[in-house]
Chains A and B, each alone.
Chain A
Amino acid sequence: MSVTKTPDLARPAPAKASPARPRRGLRGSATLNFWLFTGPFLIGLAIFIYAPILWSVWLSFFDARFTVTPDKFIGFDNYTYMLTNDDFVGSLGTFTVFAAFIVPTTWAFSLGLALLVNRLRFMRAFFRSVFFLPTACSYVAASLIWKMSIFSGVRFGLMNTVLGWFGIENIAWLADPNPPWYWLVIVSARLWLQSGFYMILFLAALQNIPGELYEAAAIDGAKPGWQTFRHITLPQLRATSTAVVLLLLIAAYQAFDEFFNLLSKTTWGRPPLVELYYKALGESQDYGAGSAGAVILTVLICVVTLFQGRIMGFGRGDESK
């Protein structure tokens, strides 16, 4: 109350006059200011996002091979081709399996790391940095390390050396899809690369939970450990968890680098982007079919995002907290 009174009292004529003029000037052109601030971003968005999307839509109706300025209109042929292509449709399945697995796993793993680091009494900064460091590594570099040294199929690959101590035969981790060891390689690479970043998010959220909550819980008889975690920590992390799950889903949608670099000349383990690259872009240079695939993906992503917004309430203001 006193706060509202103070400005009332301290509002004599001169003080009102001098700041008001420039402010009125600004206010007078609110529209201009709006465009001034959002303009550069919107221009970028239009040039780099919307124009390519529209161009893609346009291309998808043409026979565009080895050109991005085609002249042969072929209607929905490209869409028919992509939708009747088992590999493309199959890759949507691959993606679903991949996302269904990697999202909860990374979520649990980074939360676990955050809890561990949060309980450290000493060297916390050190471990925080160590776990965060892989985030700075590029997916391509990590893929090469995973492929060439850790999961190399020859006897001196790291994993095969370790297995060799127990008398287990060499495994061709990436070359042989039966059993599908390549998932182990991909998932472990992704976990290593991503967990640190989400750990930091969780760590920040953990440190924001008021200590009083735990004290009150202890007084009420909650046992430390699982009970406290289940009823205090986890609910308090809800907002962060939602954000992390969303970010992870987006990251899974964008999966390309490690799949592309780890698996060569396969027909399996291809997320939609990789499939598109091989089927239509890359070497085939069929921009029509490629664009049709991209449009199909875009529509799917829109649908999934809307659906997810419904369920998680993301973007509905306070509800998400």
Chain B
Amino acid sequence: MSALSNSTWDRRNVLRAAMGLAAAGGLAACGGNNGRGGGASGVNLTQYFHAYGEQGTEQAIKRYAKAYDKANVTTQWITSSDFESKLFATLLTDKAPDLFEFHPQIQLVRSGQVADLTDLVAPVKSDFNPADITSHTVDGKIYGVRMIDDPQFFFYRKSLLEQAKVEVPTTLDELMEAAAKLTTGKVKGLYMGNDLHSVNDTLIWSAGAQHLDAKNEIAYHTDGVVEGLKKMRKLFTSGDLLLGAPTESWDPSSFTQGLCAIQFCGMWAMPAIQEALGDDWGVFPFPKTVDSGKQSVYNGGWSMFVNAKGKNVDAAKEYVKWLWIDQKKYQEDWATSYGFHIPPRASLAQSATKLKSGNAAEGVRLFNEFGHFDNIGWTQAMRTAFEDVFANSVRKDMDPEAALDKCDTVVNRELKKLFG
């Protein structure tokens, strides 16, 4: 257990600082040209990946790239904490990657940044999870290939809940109660990240609302969300939340090291948690914010995009097709050999035996039953604006209505630019 957490600590924090600098400077500058000594046809491709926390992921991505013989594919493993900023900034320069992983966001389409991949996906379209197709489609064209789906929910320690005689919560009020009962001298009841941004989306869905409606107008500003924000504020000030933990909520360390009894995290962390805690854990979706709402799960994930402004668009598309459409063995390896992810393709999801039993199977059930996918119209700027709502009205004590009004201004400005 300690070996695992130590390695996580090292990789995440020390390397992030050191490698982030190194990558930002020298590596990024020469990355595009250090072809690995002939063999291939001489086309050099660069791909950007954010640093996955699980051991072996970087090697895996590089191994797949090496197996491709039609181009030299160089991988930039971005360890910096804000992958988005690094990616967006680099995309403007001539050192821009030819292909990169990200989430579907419409501004990338509108600015002509990402290439149309419809002809790649079309032949196997029916094999993909329909939601993964929808979330990548703008005006009938598909702009990205989903690699993995990552449902995010709560993980809880069964023994601690039993000890405190707490049932698995299904409403936000129950969650608050549970957090209070589970908090003891050394263990905090609940961890949702230091800045709570991981639960922004689920709070909206669990209140029965959504980010934008079908007409791409604001749909998150409802009474349910306001009530949810007020409850969150109460929870934040209750002293039952773990705050200021060394790692953010995507990392299960706080949970596995016993700093908290319940943690919001993602399916990817299951192998690490299993190894640390044995069978003493379970998962549950984000509870109902208000009684009229419904429990929810954020079906995050990562997709491959091709830089339409790059020099080797066709070669990059070829590579995406080869790896993320054709090479099913690699796709399965990527989804289940390191962290657990759900393969977006039905044929793979069916054969992924590791996801068939125990908590992993439960994770898949929550994904199917309660899951919400990204809305491609909800862009990074809107995301940041809603994070500000949490900062203002949950961590600070601004009136939720006022905080949401502020967010509305920003979101409307974005919507106007995107949809007129």
Contact = CB atoms under 8 A, between A and B. Distances in A.
Contacts of A66: 88, 91-92, 107-108, 111, 113
Contacts of A65: 107, 111, 417
A67 B242 contact: no
Interface stretch (A49-57, A166-174, A214-222): A166-174
A249 B13 CA distance: 32
Contacts of B219: none
B17 interface: yes
Nearest to A181: B244
A141 B17 contact: yes
B387 A265 contact: yes
Nearest to A148: B246
Interface in B216-250: 236-237, 239, 242-246
A39 interface: no
Interface string A111-155: 000000000000000000000000000001100100010011111
Given A66-B88, A67-B92, A67-B111, A265 B197 contact: yes
A265 B391 contact: yes
Interface stretch (B42-50, B320-328, B340-348, B392-400): B392-400
Interface in B378-403: 380-381, 383-384, 387-388, 390-392, 395-397
A148 B17 CA distance: 13
Interface string A155-173: 1010000000000011111
Interface residues of A, number: 40
Contacts of A176: 236, 243, 395
A18 B384 CA distance: 73
Given A86-B406, A172-B243, A264-B195, A283 B111 contact: no
Nearest to A261: B81
A175 B195 contact: yes
A178 interface: yes
Interface in B346-400: 380-381, 383-384, 387-388, 390-392, 395-397
Contact of B195 (A81, A265, A286): A265
Contacts of B380: 283-284
A169 B239 contact: yes
Contacts of A151: 244
B246 A154 contact: yes
A285 B88 contact: yes
Contact of B17 (A67, A144, A170, A284): A144
Contacts of A282: 82, 84-85, 88-89
A177 interface: yes
Nearest to B186: A155
B259 interface: yes
A176 to B, nearest CB: 6
Contacts of B413: 81
A122 B197 CA distance: 54
Contacts of B85: 281-283
A63 B414 CA distance: 12
A171 B242 CA distance: 10
A169 B186 CA distance: 11
B246 A267 contact: no
A58 interface: no
Nearest to B403: A267
Interface SS of chain B? helix
B243 A153 contact: yes
Contacts of A169: 239
A266 B391 contact: yes
A267 B392 contact: yes
A261 to B, nearest CB: 9
Contacts of A174: 194, 244
Interface string B264-288: 0000000000000000000000000
A253 interface: no
B199 to A, nearest CB: 12
A151 B406 CA distance: 31
A101 B380 CA distance: 35
Contact of A175 (B107, B381, B395, B406): B395
B407 to A, nearest CB: 11
Interface in A58-117: 63, 65-68, 81, 86-87
B414 to A, nearest CB: 9
B13 A153 contact: no
A76 to B, nearest CB: 15
B245 A153 contact: yes
A268 interface: yes
Nearest to B113: A66
Contact of B396 (A141, A155, A172, A268): A268
Contacts of A144: 13, 17
Interface string A261-289: 00011111000000000100111111000
Contacts of A141: 17
B259 A154 contact: yes
Nearest to A141: B17
Contacts of B89: 281-282, 285
B396 A153 contact: no
A217 to B, nearest CB: 51
Nearest to B107: A66
A270 to B, nearest CB: 11
10 contacts: A86-B406, A144-B17, A152-B245, A153-B242, A169-B239, A175-B243, A264-B195, A267-B392, A281-B89, A283-B85
Interface of B: 13, 17, 81-82, 84-85, 88-89, 91-92, 107-108, 111, 113, 186, 194-195, 197, 236-237, 239, 242-246, 259, 380-381, 383-384, 387-388, 390-392, 395-397, 406, 413, 417
Given A178-B396, A267-B396, 10 more contacts: A65-B417, A141-B17, A153-B243, A154-B246, A155-B186, A174-B194, A177-B395, A282-B88, A283-B85, A283-B88
